[in-house]
Structure 1
Amino acid sequence: MTGSTRQRIPLALALIAAFGALAGASLQPGAAEADSPAVLGDEGDTPLLRDVLESTGRGYLQAKSALASTQARQARIAAELRRVEARITELRPRVEQVARAAYRTGRIGPVMVLLHSGSADEFLERARGLEAVALRDNEVLRSLRQARERAARAKLALDAEVAEERRQLAIMLRQKRAAERALAQVGGASTGGFVSATSPVARPAPRGADGGWPAQSCGRPDPTTSGCVTARTLHAYSEARRAGFTRYTSCYRPGGPYEHPKGRACDFSAEAGGFRGDATGGNRTYGNNLAAFFVRNADRLGVLYVIWYRQIWLPTTGWKSYSGAHGDPSSDHTNHVHLSLV
């Protein structure tokens, strides 16, 4: 073996080792994203969208959760009101028994006063003033009065809940209009979007005691990088994989805008090996199906917004057209589905 040959062998081995390291890094889920965020780019960050997507989307979801709680309370109060009204109906025959008993004992006058009252409230007022009614009869009348008082309280509570419902609906409408105005500056036309009634159904993420989405910290290990994610993000990621969406994914990023550094966002590549150019063919179909999966399960997963192929879905507006700031596959989201969670 010549000296020049011996010199070339270590050089060749070094090049092979370097190539292998690069190839391994490109195949390791999240490695490129964690160590070099520039691989994906800044995803078309603009201060306008950052503010709108965070504030209006979150405000809308908070109002939506409050509305659901209000409507649930309305249903409970209405059920209580029906029970009270049934109790009043049940007591009416017993009041008639009081009248018949009074007739047999000669207390016709007072009973006739009761029976000829113009309304139920007048009936009760007169009943309270009749000392001739026996203790047993008074108990019947007292039960009727208490039932009617409970019914009145229930009606007042129901009116208050209806007013709260209207307030929450007004908040949701304001958030919707604000989002539409902002999105109009970056496209914003309504689109058919990506929706499929046959998308898999995700298991719901835990909610708060009030039915809302409580704030969560970035406290769970991110399975796609060396960073962290919230419990809700980890749940959404796991549900996507359980539904068959297992291609390259990256969640945590240490810097930049949006929810990545907070552990509340993931980027799902349309390709198995990483983020490349515009998705076409089967890769684009994969992205379409994944976007549809997240939208169908938005209420189950706590989705704040979804971006895919120059379109954005928000709970306030549905699917709208969207153009990134730089017109490349990263900012236009034509190579990956972006998911942000509350």
Structure 2
Amino acid sequence: MRHQSVRRRLAATLALLVAAAGLAFAAPAHAAPGDTGDDGEGGSKSLIQQLEAASRGYVQARDALAASKTRQAQLTARLKQLDAELAPRQAAVDEIVAEAYMSGRLGPMSALLNAGSGAGFLDRAEMLETVGVKQQAAVTDLRAVRDQQAAAKLAIDATIRDQQKQVNVMAKRKVQAETALKAANAGQDDPQPSDGGSSKSAAKFQGGSGMVDDPTSGGRITQRMLFAMRQAQADGFTHYVHCWREQNSGEHPKGRACDFAADKGGFGGVATGASKTYGTNLANYFINNSSRLGVLYVIWFKRIWLPSSGWKAYTRGNGDPSSDHTNHVHLSVI
């Protein structure tokens, strides 16, 4: 009887353990991005590649356009300076010509015939030589300014042509991104009243293109990605972050993407209340500082923000909070 009682107690304990295990399996912890079969960026490999190429091309053309406009402004200022210098140089030439005329711009024989003495001839020849040297120098100086002026005008014309080229590239890249989204049955315009919720300004990235250790994993990320993460954290966005991971496509294995949890402690369920507000503000922080940080795209709450197109619908996940990006903000940088 005693052995049977022990067996019953053991059986009851085992049953409780099985039941507890059953409860645990029935309510699992929320899967982290990348653990639900979508590579963690909510789209097929081909879609992610198209979006990456389109946004990268757009950002590069946009930055080239900005640099070209800066160069045009510099050239225009230089041309204005040369225009201001041209008038006094022309006046100097005119003055020397008048001086030569008043002094009698004569050849050596005429100077000798009109000179009262040998000393007078030498004095006159020396004066004429001085005037000639001054005139030659002034003419050379004037010609140099005019050449610089012409070169500046040509350079301005070239920058304007380059700007038009970049504008055309930007337009093509925008079409490429939006066509890829439409082909995936996504990409409808999806602005929301919460857009622009954060006005904090990040510093401009001035680093290089090398890789550094990722403080959120055992992998490596780009200097730019680390800079963007540190800037966000310095501006108060201090919830859980995870960056590098192995996957078949996207920016995470390249070290150019991070996932920023809406909840403070990690990737939870669908963000609500303060957690959703945090995610919205963080997404808008990256958008408002996209040029300074080199943002490629932002994904948040079933939407994707592209530099070329703004917010677009992006419902290519598996219906869980991580693949739908309703529990974290995804950031990719160039």
State the one-letter code of the partner of 1:38.
D
Alignment of 1:140-179 (within 5 A): 140-179=138-177
Range 166-175 or range 60-69, more displaced:
60-69
Match of 1:200?
Answer: 200
State the one-letter code of the partner of 1:226.
G
* 1:42/1:330 contact within 8 Å kept: no
Range 70-79 or range 253-262, more displaced:
70-79
Find 1:305's aligned residue among 289, 297, 300. 297
Alignment of 1:115-154 (within 5 A): 134-154=132-152
Match of 1:118?
Answer: none
Q: Does residue 89 of structure 1 match 2:87?
A: yes
Alignment of 1:190-229 (within 5 A): 190-193=189-192, 195-196=195-196, 198-207=198-207, 214=209, 216=210, 219-229=211-221
Match of 1:115?
Answer: none
Q: CA deviation at 1:327?
A: 3.0
Q: Deviation string for 1:30-87 (max 9, x for gaps)? A: xx85xx9416963422134212221011111111222222222222222222222111
SS at match of 2:171: helix
Match of 1:314?
Answer: 306
Match of 1:287?
Answer: 279
Q: CA deviation at 1:167?
A: 1.1
State the one-letter code of the partner of 1:206.
Q
SS at match of 2:331: strand
SS at match of 2:176: helix
CA 1:100–1:85: 2 relative to 1, 3 Å? same
Largest Rg, 1 or 2: 2
State the one-letter code of the partner of 1:340.
S
State the one-letter code of the partner of 1:191.
D
CA 1:60–1:278: 2 relative to 1, 3 Å? same
TM-score (ref. length: structure 1): 0.76
Range 177-186 or range 331-340, more displaced:
177-186
After superposition, the CA RMSD in angstroms is 3.2
Mapped partners of 1:321, 1:187: distance in 2? 6
Mapped partners of 1:253, 1:304: distance in 2? 18
* 2:198/2:284 contact within 8 Å kept: no
Mapped partners of 1:161, 1:58: distance in 2? 22
* 1:45/1:257 contact within 8 Å kept: no
Range 220-229 or range 256-265, more displaced:
220-229
Q: Does residue 296 of structure 1 match 2:288?
A: yes
* 2:269/2:327 contact within 8 Å kept: yes
* 1:227/1:253 contact within 8 Å kept: yes
Match of 1:104?
Answer: 102
Alignment of 1:322-337 (within 5 A): 322-337=314-329
Which sections of structure 1, spanning at least 5 residues, go unmatched?
A: 109-130, 209-213
* 2:62/2:166 contact within 8 Å kept: yes
TM-score (ref. length: structure 2): 0.77
Range 53-62 or range 226-235, more displaced:
226-235
* 1:40/1:275 contact within 8 Å kept: no
SS at match of 1:306: strand
Which sections of structure 2, spanning at least 5 residues, go unmatched?
A: 107-128
Aligned length: 293
CA 1:161–1:196: 2 relative to 1, 3 Å? same
Q: Deviation string for 1:240-272 (max 9, x for gaps)? A: 111111112211112232111111111111112
* 2:38/2:318 contact within 8 Å kept: no
SS at match of 1:144: helix
Q: Deviation string for 1:90-123 (max 9, x for gaps)? A: 2132133124313423459xxxxxxxxxxxxxxx
Mapped partners of 1:197, 1:93: distance in 2? 60
Q: CA deviation at 1:221?
A: 2.2
Mapped partners of 2:266, 2:38: distance in 1? 13
Mapped partners of 1:92, 1:197: distance in 2? 58
Mapped partners of 1:59, 1:318: distance in 2? 16
SS at match of 1:245: coil
Q: Does residue 266 of structure 1 match 2:258?
A: yes
SS at match of 1:45: coil
